[in-house]
Structure 1
Amino acid sequence: MKIARLVKTICICGPALLAPLAAAQVTDPPVVRDAIVRLRNGVNINDFLASISSTYPGTTVVDDIASRNIYRLSLTEGADPVQVDQFFANLANQPNSMLRWGEAGYEARTAESRTGSVYVSRPASYAAQFETQYPTITLGVTQAQQLSTGRGVAVAILDTGVDASHPAFGAAVRNDGFNTILNNTDTRDIARGVDSNGNSTADEMVGHGTFVAGLVTLVAPETRILPVTVLDSDGVGTTWSIGKGLFYAIDRDVEVINLSLGSTYKAQIFEDAANEAEARGIMIVAAVGNSASTSPARYEYPGQLKETIGVYAVDRNDVLATFTNYGGDSRSLEALVGAPGASTGDPNATIYGPLPGGMYGEWEGTSLSTPLMSGGLALLYAQHPVWGSLPPIDPNDPSDPTTLFETILGTMLPPASVNISAQNPGAGSLLGLGRIDLEALISVGPPQPAPGDINGDGVVDLSDLAQLLADFASTRSTADLTADGIVDLSDLAYLLAHFGH
């Protein structure tokens, strides 16, 4: 990644919160002795462990997603990850197997951690630059916000955590987040003394999640943020921590899941989560990486999955950022878009975002392109609140019903995407849909309903109150006005505050 200009700015302009560049991590290594398995319904984990004890004696359960019968295992010392994958593949194919699938666990990380990108710290006075930065012009954010501000929508940020106290968020950050690294509810975006990449510099990605979340609310200022910490403060996680975070977010009834991260290992746990999200009408948006490559060897997941929207980075002139990955196979190209993510140091061509402690910063990367797209989808969902209450689609339905993901991808995003082939000679066939235009995406839809107007009839009245009471304690309901995942007293108070308007 070409960031010499940013490093130079650090040296000249004062305090940078992150350390010197790390060596690039081209591919993600396996996690020693780590494996993930998904058992068939009704299978007991102890019975399964007994069945593999001759090959992997002493295997223990480290963690689980009990609702899906998915387990993280610690295998025998010296277990080879390639052999682990092959062993589980063979086992899953046996008649009456207890196993649906199994795989070795691998590391994952932010694209910026992979390439050693650092941010430039700026004071709180940079709030103005944050609010007026060039992506708001390129994407037509101000025009889009005339119809929608993301009210009633929740976006999960799977990252290093979020500083909920930052003034940029107000009361946007929900308090029901989770940390899959520590297995607790501490989702603060803070230094924890971690040097996961072994470059003798700890906590290099503190602030990444806060920065990313800020770009979502820049686009969709009334959207709620669900923080799910899946990376440590050095920007490193695992396929397990991310997979568990995906299922956690799905169970909290968000509309959009933002993943400004990835792994070069195509994990089945990502596939399962993406398939379930699609069936439930949840959009996953993921960065495609900063390795300046179109090579399949550099693909990052979940961003390259056909069930997710992958995002690459462009500059203010719609030229591909020098660091960005792009391209993909024929299916993933159908779900690939570009968004601003490049910074030059010029205030009119730089990405700004909030950092912990009330600060702001300058950065670049596909991690920053991704939340701009996620914020745009939040605007779209707010225009169509019924989407958040659609019943899940049965993947075994023989009629093969069209999913919301397919509808958005097939009919809404193509006409709202700008062809940038002329600005990028030779790359046209690898640019997917093109650069997203949020003004075009939102302008063809209706205005979002007024606050508290559950049934969308233009007034908050007894019919809305009746619907809220009928759905009380429910999830996936248009009556979840505060977008906290459940219809409760906070929604009733919100409705009553707007009653008669």
Structure 2
Amino acid sequence: MANEILVAADDAGMVRGAMRGLGAQRSEAPDGIDEYVHRYVLPDTGDDPPVVPQVVGQLRAQGNSPRVGLNHVFAANAIPISGQPKLHGGTATDPVPAPQPEIGGVATDSRVVRVAVIDTGLDPAALTLPVFYQHQRHGRHEPDAVYENPAVRRIGLMGGHGTAAAGIIARYARRAHLTSIQVLNVHGICDEWTLAAGILRARDAGAEIISMSLGGTYVGDEEPLALKAVLDDLPAGTVVVAAAGNVDAATPNFYPASRPGVVSVAAIDTTDPAGTEVPAPFSNTGDWITACAPGVRVHAPYVFGTWNYGANPIDFTGAVAWSGTSFATPFVAAQIAANTTLKETCAEAADRLFGGLTRSFPGYGRYVAAPPGFILQ
């Protein structure tokens, strides 16, 4: 984020004088994030703006090495600013309208698990769809803005992204207690400070599994400051599941998926009529990836309205076929929730689930197969 600097709360006193000299203003803090990290905004100096990475380097070089960082941008499936290609319905294709998906979960002996989806939120209108309406356990759903123009129901580029992700969990983890946290706007973008605050809201909602179909690369060798602080402070046993990204690259710092301990999820293409299963052409790869699941033409509940980003407007009536590691991710989160027994933490259930998988794709992790109906053929 232009002209923005993050400072660890405990180290703020070390740089206060320098910040005052730069004319930086401290931002109002949401949701307890101020206990971890402060955000400062440098003044706009017109034709000669400060080079923020250099300013960060200078501040870090002060005595006692204060923890200072950039305010990185994170994004959903399709935001060019972070290198993510458009993957609506298939590689570089438009979204595909679909019929309503059937309820996909089966009865298990799992316990009730609190799952938080951190994304664009959940469209309140979607709660009338069968996948959500017949799901009995709901927490607080922060609303998905959905529309660029509500008057004509023109769907934003990533409007409904969080609705689809939450719908996949509701469909395949029927005993999950589901909460939606809104951090991404309808274009699918948020900053690190906002994302970190959203993670705190998920924690405060009691989330045992946090699913994030978003990510981005970061500058330098150090983890993003605000995210590291809040992820380090999650309760023991919390499982964080994150999308591995969609740029067909082996980037080692796609965050938060590349963070040690995070369940990072790549995508597999299972749409070949002959039954061949191969890594999706868009999916990131690397030895840091934990698992993979089908991620091409995933059949999910969606929103109502018109999507205008393709060659022609496309009308949607509450369901979609959508592609990306964004949609493999909540399925893996759902499988962890659906396999967590009464005597287990979700982390223990995840270890047991992945330890029992017999198939893997080198560079894409262990394969979590999906049942018929998960993708739209």
TM over 0.5: yes
Instruction: String of CA shifts for 1:244-269, please: whole Å, max 9, x gaps.
Output: 11121112111110100101114122
Native 8 Å contact 1:418 1:437 kept in 2: no
Which of 24, 41, 56 is equivalent to 1:74?
41
Change (3 A) 1:107 1:173: farther
Query: Could you say which residue in structure 2 is the equivalent of 1:220?
Result: 173
Query: Could you say which residue in structure 1 is the equivalent of 2:342?
Result: 384
Distance in 1 separating the partners of 2:184 and 2:136: 21
Distance in 1 separating the partners of 2:162 and 2:117: 7
- Is there any run of 5+ residues in structure 2 with no aligned partner, and where? 90-94, 271-275, 305-316, 372-377
Letter paired with 2:108: L
Instruction: String of CA shifts for 1:151-170, please: whole Å, max 9, x gaps.
Output: 52221111111124242212
Q: Give runs of aligned pairs for residues 258-277 of structure 1, distance below 5 A.
A: 258-265=211-218, 266-277=223-234
Which of 86, 103, 106 is equivalent to 2:57?
86
Distance in 2 separating the partners of 1:271 and 1:79: 25
Native 8 Å contact 2:144 2:159 kept in 1: no
**Residue 202 of structure 1, CA deviation:** 7.8
Query: Could you say which residue in structure 1 is the equivalent of 2:308?
Result: none
Instruction: String of CA shifts for 1:59-78, please: whole Å, max 9, x gaps.
Output: 32242535633222212332
TM-score by length of 1: 0.60
Distance in 2 separating the partners of 1:173 and 1:235: 27
Distance in 1 separating the partners of 2:137 and 2:320: 20
TM-score by length of 2: 0.78
Query: Could you say which residue in structure 2 is the equivalent of 1:176?
Result: 140
Which moved further from structure 2: 283-292 or 265-274? 265-274
**Residue 191 of structure 1, CA deviation:** 1.3
Q: CA RMSD in A?
A: 2.8
Query: Could you say which residue in structure 2 is the equivalent of 1:294?
Result: 250
In terms of fraction of residues, the more strand-rich structure is 2
Letter paired with 1:355: Y
Change (3 A) 1:193 1:236: farther
**Residue 102 of structure 1, CA deviation:** 1.9
Change (3 A) 1:54 1:360: closer
In terms of fraction of residues, the more helix-rich structure is 1
Q: Specify the SS of the correspondent of 1:84.
A: helix
Native 8 Å contact 1:63 1:73 kept in 2: no
Query: Could you say which residue in structure 2 is the equivalent of 1:51?
Result: 17
Q: Specify the SS of the correspondent of 2:8.
A: strand
- Percent identity, please: 21
Which of 97, 101, 114 is equivalent to 1:122?
97
Q: Specify the SS of the correspondent of 2:203.
A: helix
Instruction: String of CA shifts for 1:280-331, please: whole Å, max 9, x gaps.
Output: 32100000111011133xx421011112100000022431011111114xxx
Query: Could you say which residue in structure 1 is the equivalent of 2:303?
Result: 356
Query: Could you say which residue in structure 1 is the equivalent of 2:314?
Result: none
Query: Could you say which residue in structure 2 is the equivalent of 1:412?
Result: 352
Letter paired with 1:89: R
Q: Which of the pair has the greater relative contact order for Cα pairs under 8 Å at 6+ separation?
A: 2
Q: Specify the SS of the correspondent of 2:339.
A: helix
Q: Does 1:431 pair with 2:364?
A: yes
Native 8 Å contact 1:337 1:436 kept in 2: yes
Instruction: String of CA shifts for 1:208-239, please: whole Å, max 9, x gaps.
Output: 11111111111102312211111000111111
**Residue 49 of structure 1, CA deviation:** 6.3
Change (3 A) 1:224 1:175: closer
Q: Specify the SS of the correspondent of 2:367.
A: strand
Distance in 1 separating the partners of 2:328 and 2:285: 13
- Aligned pair count reads 329
Instruction: String of CA shifts for 1:69-93, please: whole Å, max 9, x gaps.
Output: 32222123323232133134334xx
Native 8 Å contact 2:36 2:229 kept in 1: no
Distance in 2 separating the partners of 1:66 and 1:111: 26
Change (3 A) 1:85 1:49: closer
Letter paired with 1:252: A
Query: Could you say which residue in structure 1 is the equivalent of 2:310?
Result: none
Which runs of 4 or more aligned residues in structure 1 lie more than 6 Å from their structure 2 counterparts after TM superposition? none
Native 8 Å contact 2:300 2:319 kept in 1: yes
Letter paired with 1:60: R
Q: Which structure: larger Rg?
A: 1
Distance in 2 separating the partners of 1:287 and 1:172: 27
Letter paired with 2:367: R
Which moved further from structure 2: 167-176 or 110-119? 167-176
Query: Could you say which residue in structure 2 is the equivalent of 1:476?
Result: none
Query: Could you say which residue in structure 2 is the equivalent of 1:158?
Result: 118
Q: Does 1:33 pair with 2:3?
A: yes
Q: Does 1:370 pair with 2:329?
A: yes
**Residue 240 of structure 1, CA deviation:** 1.5
Q: Give runs of aligned pairs for residues 182-193 of structure 1, distance below 5 A.
A: 187-192=143-148
Distance in 2 separating the partners of 1:219 and 1:338: 16
Q: Specify the SS of the correspondent of 2:73.
A: strand
Letter paired with 1:242: L
Distance in 2 separating the partners of 1:369 and 1:420: 15
Distance in 1 separating the partners of 2:343 and 2:170: 18
Change (3 A) 1:177 1:56: farther
Query: Could you say which residue in structure 1 is the equivalent of 2:237?
Result: 281
Change (3 A) 1:172 1:258: farther
